[in-house]
Chains A and B, each alone.
Chain A
């Protein structure tokens, strides 16, 4: 039997604010335990939360970028449950009236565009971090993360495959990074994803029983866990069983999902409006203010790169992966109107250097000016493309200009026909056997002669001219 897969995703994005959502402690990751805490984020008696405006700004930003309706009146709620990483015994979150609702995100799957609904985006606080010490049978708590702002982004159950889920997550993460509101780091937990999964026989209209899937902390884990869980559901159904509505944890060691052991606890969060926080009213002026500063979104940028610069879809996709790379590209194009050539250099050399050195493009030694100068040197015949690769390498390590490198190392291309003829003549004399074979009709040997010339000139010979001269001289 064939099945429909129904997936809804819940993403928690940690925001790049300086301070926590309800107090002025730092949000920085990796500090000594409990050093970024105060009576508010540790839940001491009598203290009160005060909302960080930037969290609302960021929420509106994402809401606009995902075509959401922004709620005019926002209230916070308390979600009550006991857990040692939750200092107050409740999490301050939004329940009724989330900041953003009814949006969507377009994703690309198999070269077609699919629209995934966004149910809601709301603001809430993160919990602290627990470290379990098996030896002493104790759990240690660090509250540095307690109170770090989160946006929870809930999708509609519109996702129909693991591939779509992957594409949605990539698109969403790229958007968050573009908007500069989240660093998107899944391994460090600043971008976290839970999934709701169910399957139903193809054509059926009612939904199957769904399970909640947690503990997937990389994109690869999400894919594997979803695949596993989908197959598990199908397996149960085909063997005549019933899927239980439970929460499953992905176990990256065994590559399986395991039911989360729920201890007696039936969840009853007793949500009610947070009396310590007053409503946040987002008026049109506030929204316009955010809208004005909204950067071009990845999808729009991609389309523009194709339409304006005539780049292939693939190039546009690669160049717009990151906002700074796209900016780099556009700076180059503004200096030299040769988009495809520039794109080729960025996609190969620039991105390679960035990846190898894990460097940021903003600190890359090869500035757009330098890259463009180098391309100009190729185009006016001063250097060959092969030499250019060496020059690029040199620029990336030393930061010196291509002109200087060419001059110092004597890398100027040899375009003088007489010099080249002398070299070719010598090669012909030294390789009589190959000349003989060539002349008998094995013209593929041309490459051998070109290679010899390049060896002799350390690659400086103008390739086009070299070809021409070799052909001419071998005719004689």
Chain B
């Protein structure tokens, strides 16, 4: 992103040229990163940006090609959530973040592929088929923001927006070797983000470098009165300078390095932590006793909220309508049975069960209580450290269809990313190494609420001293 901004001004490259280059690239994209490409909108925005750059604007976002996950509403451009049920839905309104990006002059090139309704971690459950990992097309790019991650990694955009409910920005960022931020809950408006689990969902930026992520984060964050959970406070722009790591206490939770962690990942993350140590950080062991309950809590809370959030897809006001038109109940059932995929149905079923009469206390209420304990756990940890570091995922990218028949095992892989959503804390995934096979590995940094400055500052410092984030997948070199 920063280099494109430089090329616009120093090399006199036009935003229109870059946009055409990107649109051309998307046409030949073997990865299936996009669901919808808005060529006209992109060209118009590029023309406007060109004019402003000519007039000397130093706005770094001007003319930068950005991709938007397909669960974020774009006025006049179809927004499907990769679902049949919304395959013909065209919003008449922009999400708050889209409005902000348009105002800042970026070029929105299109909508990226994802797991249907953001429910998944493989981008294989989309109605248009899977997105492939640019580092190895037999592997998953991760998910649910797999399209947004793959598009950045493959230079099919300069940066993108994803959404993160249980790791959906950080895990694909990690699998695709890019940087992704799940911001503090309440710092980026959810208005226009198609809800999966309202108390966990957060929109966030994805880009190659932490600096680019910071630039995009500065552009989308801020109070929005249209979102009641948006926190009203003064948002300072996050600095693009690295954080001086001397005296910074890095907490390393033993629980993040337990059973199931691949040796490649463990080594890369520990090496990453050593980089911070060399930069002057103090490493402290911390205890997060309750995170072992995170997955259970998450899959109760998230599915409960989802079962309710997805009730509006009933074939009445928009979206797909089932074939049976004679009876209302049949119309509902036909619409929903043919409109949702098996994973979405599975989660709706689970969530409905967890809220139903006789089970509420045992599941939803119990989970919400353990959630409190997890929050307290992190509050205590941040008394003795400034930042928590661990792996983003237990394994590197796995085979596209490797886990498809084992939902529970797939859920368990979200173990490291879920706590940030349950607690509302910000978390950043940055590239920190590669496996022997050359697949990227990500490292997760977590900080107290609204301390994205620490996360991004540390990420920038790390990337000023390492080259992992600069490495590009081979397919693009051809």
Q: Do the two chains belong together in a single complex?
A: yes
Which A residues fall within an 8 A CB radius of B? Answer: 39, 42-51, 78, 80, 82, 84, 87-90, 137, 139, 141, 263, 268, 270-272, 275-278
- Is B73 a contact partner of A78 (Cβ separation < 8 A)? no
Return chain B residues, CB-CB under 8 Å to A48. 190-191, 226-229
Among B125-133, B134-142, B170-178, B310-318, the stretch in contact with A: B310-318
- Is A90 a contact partner of B311 (Cβ separation < 8 A)? yes
B interface majority secondary structure:
loop
Q: Which residue of B lies closest to A278 (CB)?
A: B228
State whether the Cβ of B199 lies closer than 8 Å to any Cβ in chain A. yes
**Are A268 and B314 CB-contacts (below 8 A) given A46-B91, A82-B332, A263-B329?**
no
Q: Which residue of B lies closest to A23 (CB)?
A: B226
Which of A84, A268, A272 is in CB contact (< 8 Å) with B316? A84
State whether the Cβ of B304 lies closer than 8 Å to any Cβ in chain A. yes
- Is B356 a contact partner of A270 (Cβ separation < 8 A)? yes
Return chain A residues, CB-CB under 8 Å to B81. 45
Alpha-carbon separation in the docked complex, A425 to B277 (Å) = 128
- Rounded to whole Å, the gap between the CB of A144 and the closest CB of chain B is 14
- Is A87 a contact partner of B328 (Cβ separation < 8 A)? no
- Is B312 a contact partner of A275 (Cβ separation < 8 A)? no
- Rounded to whole Å, the gap between the CB of A323 and the closest CB of chain B is 35
What would be 17 A-B contacts, judged by CB atoms less than 8 Å apart? A39-B91, A39-B93, A46-B73, A46-B79, A46-B95, A46-B191, A46-B195, A47-B191, A78-B308, A80-B307, A80-B355, A82-B314, A268-B356, A270-B307, A270-B352, A270-B356, A278-B228
- Rounded to whole Å, the gap between the CB of B88 and the closest CB of chain A is 13
Alpha-carbon separation in the docked complex, A49 to B310 (Å) = 16
- Is B194 a contact partner of A45 (Cβ separation < 8 A)? yes
Q: Which residue of B lies closest to A84 (CB)?
A: B316
For B56-99 the 0/1 string (1 means CB < 8 A from A) is 00000000000000011100000101000010010111010000
Return chain B residues, CB-CB under 8 Å to A51. 228
8 Å CB interface, B149-199 against A: 190-195, 197-199
Alpha-carbon separation in the docked complex, A96 to B272 (Å) = 48
- Is B229 a contact partner of A90 (Cβ separation < 8 A)? no
Return chain A residues, CB-CB under 8 Å to B355. 80, 270-272
**Are A272 and B311 CB-contacts (below 8 A) given A45-B81, A51-B228?**
no
**Are A276 and B95 CB-contacts (below 8 A) given A46-B193, A80-B355?**
no
Q: Which residue of B lies closest to A88 (CB)?
A: B312
- Is A45 a contact partner of B79 (Cβ separation < 8 A)? yes
- Rounded to whole Å, the gap between the CB of A32 and the closest CB of chain B is 17
Return chain A residues, CB-CB under 8 Å to B305. 272, 275
Tier of interface size on chain B: 35 or more
- Rounded to whole Å, the gap between the CB of A34 and the closest CB of chain B is 10
Alpha-carbon separation in the docked complex, A84 to B308 (Å) = 15
**Are A89 and B229 CB-contacts (below 8 A) given A45-B194, A84-B328, A272-B355?**
no
Return chain B residues, CB-CB under 8 Å to A89. 308, 310-312, 314
- Rounded to whole Å, the gap between the CB of A281 and the closest CB of chain B is 14
- Is A272 a contact partner of B317 (Cβ separation < 8 A)? no
- Is A90 a contact partner of B228 (Cβ separation < 8 A)? no
Alpha-carbon separation in the docked complex, A338 to B355 (Å) = 66
Q: Which residue of A lies closest to B193 (CB)?
A: A46
Q: Which residue of A lies closest to B225 (CB)?
A: A50
- Rounded to whole Å, the gap between the CB of B411 and the closest CB of chain A is 21
- Rounded to whole Å, the gap between the CB of A279 and the closest CB of chain B is 10
8 Å CB interface, B181-236 against A: 190-195, 197-199, 225-229
- Rounded to whole Å, the gap between the CB of B229 and the closest CB of chain A is 6
- Is B228 a contact partner of A277 (Cβ separation < 8 A)? yes
8 Å CB interface, B274-320 against A: 304-305, 307-308, 310-312, 314, 316-318
State whether the Cβ of B257 lies closer than 8 Å to any Cβ in chain A. no
Return chain A residues, CB-CB under 8 Å to B194. 45-46
- Rounded to whole Å, the gap between the CB of A331 and the closest CB of chain B is 43
Which of A49, A87, A271, A276 is in CB contact (< 8 Å) with B317? A87
